[in-house]
Amino acid sequence: MDIARFIDHSILKPEITEKELEEQIAKCVELKVYAVCVHPYWVKRVVQLAGKELRVCAVISFPFGMDTKEQKIYQCLECVEKGAEELDIVMNFSALRSGQVDYVREELLALARNTEGLVRKVIIETAYLSKEQKVLSVELIAESGMEFVKTSTGFFAMGATVEDVRLLLDVSKGRLKVKASGGIKTKEQAIQFLSLGAQRIGTSNTFKILS
């Protein structure tokens, strides 16, 4: 299995320097990684560095998802203008946990309307959701017309689990692809999630996994 072509390499730690960013992008190009995920601030520079060798993904409202709907839309549009081809958008899981389902639905629909033609992955932060809330999240994302549900930001207590990936795949019934992300540190973990049916792996441990 060519794991590299499923990997979204994450460069999301706030202390990253431009030199470190350049080194990681060069390594991703060398290893033929599929995509790289960065904060909006670095999108323009990464597009320059990646050329046509890597897809550039911007994270939106990362890692909490608590920007307003309008702020999220603006972030998306600005990142697209700078050259991002994919967006990893953090759902407002605080609103979902609060029972504000209509707000979450409208936010997802508005984001989808404003970003047609891109690959959109919605991060639901599974560590903080009940099984019922995970199922509801899948339904809302599928309803919006976006392409992926993603397990986690990797910035909280727990990342991707086998149970969660299975659940998201089962509930999606082919309507959404699944990106397993958060805490994936080994080649064995990556292969396990891909074997379950995940279509993307999000990790900052890419170079260790592919070594």
- Choose, from 8, 69, 72, 88, the residue flagged as catalytic: 88
Is 88 catalytic? The answer is: yes
Instruction: Phi first, then psi: give them for residue 136, nearest 5 degrees.
Output: -60, -40
Residue with tokens 């998201």: 168
> Where do runs of H (alpha helix) occur along the chain?
18-31, 43-50, 69-81, 93-97, 101-114, 131-144, 162-172, 187-196, 206-209
Is 177 catalytic? The answer is: no
Beta-carbon count within 10 A of 34 CB: 19
Is 19 catalytic? The answer is: no
- Choose, from 82, 150, 164, 177, the residue flagged as catalytic: 150
Beta-carbon count within 10 A of 163 CB: 10
Angle, CA 42 vertex, CA 38 and CA 48 arms, to 5°: 105
- Choose, from 82, 121, 134, 179, the residue flagged as catalytic: 179
> Hey, which residues are catalytic here?
88, 150, 179
